[in-house]
Chain A
Amino acid sequence: MTGEKILTRNFHRPDSHTLKAYVETGGYQAWARAQAMEPAAIVEEVKKSNLRGLGGAGFPTGMKWSFIPKGHTGPVYLVINADEGEPGTFKDRYLLERDPHALVEGMLIAARAIGSATGFVYVRGEYVEPWRRFSAAVREAYQAGYLGRGFDVVVHRGAGAYICGEETGLISSLEGKKGWPKLKPPFPAIKGAFGQPTIVNNVETICHVPHIVNRGAEWFAALGTKTQGGTRMYSVSGRVNRPGVYETSVAITLRGLIELAGGVSGSGRLKAVVPGGSSAPILRADEIDVTMDVDGLRAAGTMAGSAGVIVMDESVSIPEALLVVARFYAHESCGQCTPCRESTGWIHKMVGRIVAGQGRKEDLDTILDAARRGAGTTICAFYDGAVGPYISYIEKFREEFEALIPK
């Protein structure tokens, strides 16, 4: 099931981040091939590959690219979301540090497909070493003549704000503003960065593109499920014996993935799993026979998100885990929309008093009510992401919360 390593194939090489290592292992051959392809043919190939966005939303990548208005004569921007911040996720850090040229090559191909002459890579501010590594790769790519001949790359550092991982918040931040998400429509493909058509893609998504061009859409599609091609890099952490990044087919089950990471540690008995970063609704131990593709997890009532898998064994307190998660959403709410700004703080306060043994009988239903009423009412998906854990932790482990509330 684990199969061939594609994105991580060079990670064992100490020099995997260098141009030399990348070229020795077939790097930039896809770019040579793509230069002989019509842009529309590249978009078609990526559509056929069933590549889905791997940052969180799982949107079909080729389709996203095709939204750039035909006949647009002004600039088009390619923006790479390297603002990795979803709790439990660490895969893009590995790609930036260990295979930065894969991102450069993927950007060259994507830029040709969408007709872009300028790419921006938005790296989270805390990622200093990944930013240095990637910047060094960009310099190498300029020296070698891959960049600077019709396509330029600007590496941009963020300054600490989870919301900038949301694509329109990222665009605001790239424009030199606070990272407030923007109302859609217009979608970024129509009016994005600096008012121009813009495609925002995740690091890992773009790193897949050279392989699709080299080996074909059918090959890539066959690696996954009917509706999602390829492998992806699962970040597995929490109570497992071997936490780390695991690249595997998206058709793997959650059970299989936990086994791959050495099985459950701590008490050894599984209690719950967050399958796709902290915004993904939690799964109980009896719900892990699901495939880890976008649609498999959606059918299970949760989401693949950023593929950050956080494992909790029997000894973990779910109310305490929710308190940690609720603190996160309260801290990171950008403050733009009232339901999110108010509820994230209020819910954090309520979960806090429950964990402290001072909860009120009505608190759990109040949290569920505030979560359900606010979902879907805000400009971006941040609050919907917070609602995932609020509702699922309480609904699936209600007795654990009730046990903490004085009778």
Chain B
Amino acid sequence: MSVVRPAFSPEQLAEVRRLQGLYPDPRGALLPVLHMAQESFGHISLEVEAYVAGLFGLSPAHVHEVVTFYTLYFREPKGRHVISVCHNLSCHLAGAPRILDHLRRRLGIDVGETTEDGRVTLLSVECLCACEHAPMMQVDDRYELDLTPEKVDRILARLP
């Protein structure tokens, strides 16, 4: 198996240096650069961790510790879209379990899984702080609010 080594473009490397320059210690830019890495490489594999560690002069172990601490970094390939259903208290009271069940059925996957065609990863997450519009979920960058099973179907139909 050939391994493609992850690498940023010259423009991205310039952005890494700009970000590093914003902090009194360049290491402050680690989270933003990991966001960039995930956008570029799809997910943060051990190879990506080692690559990013090299950009900071940090040990890969340190970067691994950081990546595994936060929920928004994916260590495995994810779907083209990520649906995160809030399951905390206000959404629970407003019927989040029903929304999650509906998504499980429609997508044919359980929480934490990705559809076979690689289209959608389904997650169930803690409070996204849009409780006034419960039940709600995040689809990629967008908050989808005041959900009903019908609204969920319309949202799914729009996802390429």
- Using a CB–CB distance below 8 Å, which chain A residues touch chain B? 75, 84-90, 92-93, 118, 124-129, 154, 156-162, 173-179, 193-194, 196, 235-239, 243-245, 274, 278, 308, 310, 312, 316, 320-321, 324-325, 327-328, 331-332, 334
State whether A312 and B66 are in contact (beta carbons under 8 Å apart), knowing that A159-B35, A161-B71, A194-B23 are contacts in the complex. no
**Inter-chain contact A274/B31, CB cutoff 8 Å:** no
Once the chains bind, are A157 and B35 in contact (CB under 8 Å)? Answer: yes
In the complex the two chains form, is B28's CB within 8 Å of A87's CB?
Answer: no
Could you tell me if B69 and A178 are in contact, using CB atoms closer than 8 angstroms? Answer: yes
User: Does B93 lie at the interface of the complex (its beta carbon under 8 Å from any beta carbon of A)?
Assistant: yes
B92 touches A324 (CB 8 A): yes
Q: In the complex, what residues of B have CB within 8 A of residue A178's CB?
A: 65-66, 69-70
Whether the pair A162, B126 counts as a contact (CB closer than 8 A) is: yes
User: What are the residues of chain A within 8 A of B32 when measuring CB–CB?
Assistant: 156-157
Contacts A194-B23, A237-B134 known; list 14 others, CB within 8 Å: A84-B129, A125-B35, A125-B70, A126-B138, A159-B35, A173-B31, A175-B28, A176-B28, A194-B24, A238-B90, A243-B131, A310-B89, A310-B90, A321-B93
Question: How far does the alpha carbon of A55 sit from the alpha carbon of B133 in the complex, in Å?
Answer: 21
Residues of chain B contacted by A179 (CB below 8 angstroms): 69-70
Contact B31 A158 (CB under 8 A): yes
Interface residues of chain B, those whose CB is within 8 Å of chain A, are: 22-25, 27-32, 34-35, 56, 62, 65-66, 69-73, 84, 87-90, 92-93, 126-134, 138, 141-143
Q: Is the CB of A93 within 8 A of B129?
A: yes
> A75 and B24 in contact (CB under 8 A), knowing A176-B31, A239-B93?
yes
Given contacts A175-B25, A310-B131, A325-B89, contact A332 B126 (CB under 8 A): yes
Given contacts A129-B143, A194-B24, contact A87 B31 (CB under 8 A): no
Whether A159 touches B138, Cβ cut-off 8 Å, given contacts A90-B131, A312-B93, is no
Minimum CB–CB distance for A242 against chain B, Å: 9
Chain B, Cβ-Cβ closest to A332: B126
Cβ–Cβ contact B27 & A175, under 8 A: yes
User: What is the distance, in angstroms, from A323's C-beta to the closest C-beta of chain B?
Assistant: 9
In the complex, which residue of chain B has the Cβ closest to the Cβ of A237? B131
Q: Please give me the 5 A-B residue pairs with the lowest Cβ-Cβ distance, nearest first.
A: A176-B30, A160-B71, A237-B131, A159-B70, A178-B69
State how many angstroms separate the Cβ of B139 from the closest Cβ of chain A. 11
Contact at A237–B90, with CB atoms within 8 Å? yes
User: A174 near B89 (CB under 8 angstroms)?
Assistant: no
Distance A316 CA – B94 CA, assembled complex (angstroms): 11
Contacts of B22 in A (CB 8 A): 154
Q: Which residues of A contact B128 (CB under 8 A)?
A: 126
Q: Shortest distance in angstroms between B59's beta carbon and chain A's nearest beta carbon?
A: 13
- Bound together, the chains give a CA A156 to CA B33 distance in angstroms of 11
- B54: shortest Cβ distance to chain A, in Å? 15
For A156, the chain B residues whose CB sits under 8 A away are: 28, 31-32
Which residues of the partner chain B approach A88 to less than 8 Å between Cβ atoms?
88-90, 127, 131
Quick check: A244 and B89 within 8 Å, CB to CB? no
Q: CA A124 – CA B133 in complex, angstroms?
A: 19
Most buried by A among B70, B87, B93, B142: B93
Nearest CB to that of A236 among chain B residues?
A: B132
Contact A128 B141 (CB under 8 A): yes
Residues of B within 8 A of A86 (CB): 127, 129
Question: With the chains together, A51 CA to B38 CA distance in Å?
Answer: 40
| A324 / chain B contacts, CB cutoff of 8 Å | 87-89, 92
Contacts of A161 in B (CB 8 A): 69-71
Given contacts A238-B90, A324-B89, contact A159 B24 (CB under 8 A): no
Q: How far is the CB of B88 from chain A (nearest CB, A)?
A: 5
Nearest residue (CB) in A for B69 is: A178
Contacts of B133 in A (CB 8 A): 243
How close is B39's CB to chain A, nearest CB, in angstroms? 12
Chain B residues with Cβ under 8 A from A243's Cβ? 90, 131-134
Residues from chain A with Cβ under 8 Å of B25 in the complex: 175-176, 194
Flag if A328 contacts B134 (CB, 8 Å). no
A330 to chain B, nearest CB (A): 10
CB of A229 to closest CB in B, whole Å: 25
A281 to chain B, nearest CB (A): 14
Are A160 and B72 in contact (CB-based, < 8 A)? yes
Measured CB to CB, the closest approach of chain A to B51, in angstroms, equals 16
Q: Could you jot down 12 A-B contacts, CB within 8 Å?
A: A88-B88, A88-B131, A93-B129, A125-B72, A128-B141, A173-B31, A174-B23, A175-B25, A178-B65, A196-B24, A237-B132, A331-B126
Report the Cα distance A343→B81, complex, angstroms.
35
Contact A274 B65 (CB under 8 A): no
Known contacts A194-B28, A235-B131; A154/B88 CB under 8 A: no
* Alpha-carbon separation in the docked complex, A160 to B71 (Å): 5
